[in-house]
Structure 1
Amino acid sequence: MRFVLRIVALLLVIVIVFLLVNTLRLTSHQLTDVPPAPPISVPDSAIQRFAGAIRIPTVSYTDYALTDTTQFDKFLTYIRASYPLIQQRLNPQTFNQYGLLYEWKGRNPALKPVLLMAHYDVVPVIQGTQGMWKRPPFAGIIEDGYLYGRGTLDDKMSVMGLLESVDYLLRTGYQPERTLFLAFGQDEETSGFRGAQTIAAALKKRAVSLEYVLDEGGVIKPEGVSGANKPVALIGISEKGYLSLELTAIGKGGHSSMPPPQTSIGLVAEAVSKLEHNPFPARLNGGVDQLLDYLASEVSFGQRVAFANQWLFGPLIKQALTKTKSGNATLRTTTAPTIFRSGAKDNVLPIDAVATINFRLLPGDTVDGVVARVKEIIDNDSITVSVLGKGNNPVPLSSTETPAFLTIHKTIRSVFPNVLVAPYVMLGATDSKYYSALTSSIYRFAPIPLTDAASAGVHGTNERISINDYRNMIWFYVTLIRNSQ
């Protein structure tokens, strides 16, 4: 017995030593000794131009017939008048009338171009919430150091910030070594088919191969993440896939006084319940592992041991992350029932019942795999499972070892020296997915600090941006363009 205990004790010591060695061997991924970016002067006129852009309600609707395209015409006219030097020098092109592509030719055609992108369409203001706004959503009012309005965060800030940065560089006589593309979509909020998809297809037809793409996505989290006690700049290295399924059951209908053992509503409700009670498995290898790896050297010793030894502490890490909605969503393909349609009268049995389930696919999962698993979980031939619209697989993970990621990392540290940098997987979708045929280096980052409370304004009420943060955004883009040469 003593011999067995000694063996167990020896094994325990070996495991502890192994854990400590792994922990102590950790090296920081954070760049050090990055010189501060040369400061630039952002005039008040840049803020006024941004406010003017917010006053044009470029609202896009899923039903394109509801979209007031005259506002898109106004926006394009406004851009052309506000930045005449860009119009003269950057070879502007339009796609499907409202998608914008600018090309700033570089001196060295042997270098692959960089594409910086954004979108200028915005979501509608939710009906009945207009009175909840501190300032009207399309008034473009500046007050107490903030600009209020729909699009200040999503995503006219990036459109206007990029235009201001290029205009600044043009006025200072700057000429890039590598070609720079600016691509601005008009329908990102409704899947980007008319804008980004068309622009990307045109570039592919021209056999353009890009050094990297940068789109909206990650931000600077002032509260930190995963135990880090400093602000963290999250760079999206992928984004989740998208799929909606309809579950349909057909019954015989009839009078409610003589119901069958299970109605069509009951069949679909049972199927939905099965899906909610059998979520997709939680995985660290969908991108969370890289986030933890980047932050491991910046957290407490206990967390450092766990992050450096995910092979052992993975279950505990997953257990901790699944306690929050956002943490849970980073770990798995999510299942969200969103629509239920059935019945017309309280005393009539419905013939059909239909439920819509939305899935956001973690890298590593596929549309076909999700459909197959849903059918397996439901396990009922009376339920028809069909794909609603067109789903898309997750975008492949972009490497953090590329010169492009290093350039973005370096630029962040030069403009925001006290910020940590870490890769992550976006929970939502962006237009950048359409450029995956042009480069394997697609990143998603908007250079602004955004608290959890402030992020509620995105697609919500009282959307606003700090004027100082917008000035820093322009500074960041100027520095990034210079660093990308």
Structure 2
Amino acid sequence: MANRHLWILGSLTNPATFEIYQFFESPVAPKYLFGAQSGVCEQAPILSPSNTEVEQFIRDKVEDSKYQNEIIEKLSGLIQIPSESYDDLGPIGQDDRWDIFYQVEKYIKKKYPTILKLAKLDHVNTHGLIFTWEGSVPTSEAKPVLMLAHQDVVPVLAENVPDWTHPPYDGHFDGKTIWGRGSTDDKGYLISIIESMDLLMKSGFKPKRTIILAFGCDEEISGQNCARPISELLHDRYGDEGIYMVLDEGSFGLQTQFDQSFAMVSVAEKGYLDVGINVTSPGGHASNPPDHNAIGVLSEIIMSIENHPFPGKVTTKNPIFNFLECAAVHAPERSFPMKIRNKLERVENGESAAQLQLAKALDEMRYFFRTSQSVGKINGGVKINAIPELASTMVNLRLAVDSSVAEVQKHYESLVRPIARKHGMSFQGFYTEAPEDRRKISLSAFDALEPAPVSPVDAEAFQVLAGTIRNTLKPLIKDQSLIVTPYLMPANTDTKFFWKLTSNIYRFTPVNLEHNLNRAHTTDEFIVAEEFVREPLFFATLILNADDAVPI
């Protein structure tokens, strides 16, 4: 048992009010106390562009009711184009379902003629779009800013359409909210970033730093058809570390946690892996079955997988730890639980017990620091009176930032190999071969992706981003400051293809995302108009501030 400590926390300004926390752990480090001035989660200064004339032009525009109606109408029109991407799409040019993206491009060209005049448009694999606004300073001296968005949306099943308050592809605006598939993910983002470039062009602004907008066509189905070739073209053009900053969707936006407003900038993403498991065995007539047929053995494997989840632990490698640090020093003292606060220093010191304890204390956030596993598909048998010869399943995993593909594969082999041995079956692992055998269990891996590198928060690019956020976005709680914090994207975005272009990859959506991220991917997706119409101010100000950072 650890030594018992009494830690008395009191207000320095009012020593009469204090609380006593009794526990069996080390006392709280001073730097993790509320209001600590210890360099923990220091906030970037509010950053305003030097070009005040252009900045004021943008601000006046986004506050103008006529302009607000126009940009809402633009988003509504884009939502009305059902640019769905499907898992079973064939190659571009062969599968007619890709043709809907011609309509998206035509719509963008119609609504933004100024951009077509001043920016170069490149097509990548037909439907990937890159708009490049050349700066006056060579890219070798001032690296470009790259903003990403995607044109595609998750399909809406016909049987689910009646469940929508407003039809998913009407782009209905009720005076407060814009409804429809893609309003949040990701057509609102796309309209906002292209609108910011359009406004800057109309203001007369001449950038020193090149600005690039890239719009993929298949983010919802892995990005292989558009995002990957877009990244390859840009890498050929600008080289390793040739981009100043990549900004994409994929954050939790503005959120209230621990009674404090946070702007959550995702500086990393979890990894990805699909695991296929096949069980083969001789078939036959159902009147003479074995004790365990292929489906039974596969069921045993699935139960073993679900009964042995990956352990959750919070380490300093995980940006969620940095978020907890921010909350410890900036959230109201009584709103941040002591059971979290008193473990931060021990986690920082690498104590494995504290890493596990902190994860347990934050169990509702378990998949921010645990590898998730979800059995998503299962197949087996062709006829009720025939013994199945093959049963298979697919498991989707999202890898914790301190895990790896190899670690996950080793775990699965350790679970499945004993089951194969138990039933006298051959076992084929991810990298091993098994002899030809009619009774065999085999594992295979698909779409393996290691966890993303963690982007730096001490880089100039992040400071520019953070200062812009603090300048342009309002806190969610009145009379509070807005704290910019590193955060983790638990899924994946198109940024997974851009790691070579820059280490400064940030994912941030400049709106208040609520109700399961504004119900993206599900019924009644929406975005609040009052917040959406101000997004171009954020993106345009970011471009101006990044331009100010160009060495003279």
What TM-score, normalized by structure 1, do the two folds share?
0.91
5 Å matches for 1:210-249? Answer: 210-222=243-255, 224-225=256-257, 228-249=258-279
Q: Does 1:257 align with 2:294?
A: no
Q: Which runs of 5+ in 1 are unaligned?
A: none
* Match of residue 521, structure 2, among 451, 459, 480: 459
5 Å matches for 1:19-418? Answer: 19-24=28-33, 26-31=38-43, 34=46, 39-42=59-62, 43=67, 44-65=69-90, 68-109=97-138, 110-208=141-239, 209-222=242-255, 224-225=256-257, 228-285=258-315, 286-299=318-331, 300=333, 302=338, 303-310=340-347, 311=349, 313-322=354-363, 324=364, 327-380=365-418, 381=420, 382=425, 384-418=441-475
Helix, strand or coil at the partner of 1:92 = strand
Q: Aligned in 2, Cα 1:126/1:193: closer, same or farther, shift over 3 Å?
A: same
Between 213-222 and 77-86, report the one with greater CA deviation: 213-222
Note the alpha carbon deviations across 1:442-477, whole angstroms, 9 max, x for none.
1111111011x2526211111111111111211111
How far residue 19 of structure 1 moved from its aligned partner, in angstroms, is: 3.2
8 Å contact from structure 1 (residues 243, 391) kept in 2: yes
Helix, strand or coil at the partner of 2:229 = helix
Q: Which residue of 2 aligns with 1:440?
A: 503
RMSD, matched Cα? 2.5
8 Å contact from structure 2 (residues 272, 398) kept in 1: yes
Structure 1 CA distance for aligned equivalents of residues 491 and 395 of structure 2: 16
Helix, strand or coil at the partner of 2:192 = helix
Note the alpha carbon deviations across 1:27-77, whole angstroms, 9 max, x for none.
452527626785342302222111111111111112224662332111111
How far residue 16 of structure 1 moved from its aligned partner, in angstroms, is: 7.6
Question: What is the letter of the counterpart of residue 120 of structure 2?
Answer: N
How far residue 287 of structure 1 moved from its aligned partner, in angstroms, is: 3.0
Q: Aligned in 2, Cα 1:16/1:307: closer, same or farther, shift over 3 Å?
A: closer
Q: Aligned in 2, Cα 1:407/1:374: closer, same or farther, shift over 3 Å?
A: same
Question: What is the letter of the counterpart of residue 435 of structure 1?
Answer: F
8 Å contact from structure 1 (residues 331, 362) kept in 2: yes
Helix, strand or coil at the partner of 2:343 = helix
Q: Which residue of 1 aligns with 2:545?
A: 483
How far residue 98 of structure 1 moved from its aligned partner, in angstroms, is: 0.8
Structure 2 CA distance for aligned equivalents of residues 473 and 296 of structure 1: 29
Structure 1 CA distance for aligned equivalents of residues 117 and 44 of structure 2: 40
Structure 1 CA distance for aligned equivalents of residues 173 and 7 of structure 2: 62
8 Å contact from structure 1 (residues 219, 447) kept in 2: no
8 Å contact from structure 1 (residues 296, 307) kept in 2: no
8 Å contact from structure 1 (residues 334, 359) kept in 2: yes
8 Å contact from structure 2 (residues 128, 217) kept in 1: yes
Between 235-244 and 31-40, report the one with greater CA deviation: 31-40
Q: Aligned in 2, Cα 1:373/1:315: closer, same or farther, shift over 3 Å?
A: closer
Aligned residues: 472
Note the alpha carbon deviations across 1:305-357, whole angstroms, 9 max, x for none.
333443564333211222x2xx1111111111111111123332211111111
Q: Does 1:424 align with 2:487?
A: yes
Helix, strand or coil at the partner of 1:147 = strand
Between 453-462 and 197-206, report the one with greater CA deviation: 453-462
Helix, strand or coil at the partner of 2:341 = helix
Structure 2 CA distance for aligned equivalents of residues 32 and 195 of structure 1: 35
Q: Aligned in 2, Cα 1:32/1:108: closer, same or farther, shift over 3 Å?
A: closer
Structure 1 CA distance for aligned equivalents of residues 487 and 7 of structure 2: 34
8 Å contact from structure 2 (residues 265, 508) kept in 1: yes
8 Å contact from structure 2 (residues 154, 220) kept in 1: yes
How far residue 407 of structure 1 moved from its aligned partner, in angstroms, is: 1.3
8 Å contact from structure 2 (residues 279, 391) kept in 1: yes
Between 93-102 and 338-347, report the one with greater CA deviation: 338-347
Q: Aligned in 2, Cα 1:484/1:10: closer, same or farther, shift over 3 Å?
A: closer
What TM-score, normalized by structure 2, do the two folds share?
0.80
Structure 2 CA distance for aligned equivalents of residues 274 and 203 of structure 1: 44
How far residue 386 of structure 1 moved from its aligned partner, in angstroms, is: 3.2
Structure 1 CA distance for aligned equivalents of residues 133 and 154 of structure 2: 30
Note the alpha carbon deviations across 1:173-207, whole angstroms, 9 max, x for none.
11122111111001111111121110110111123
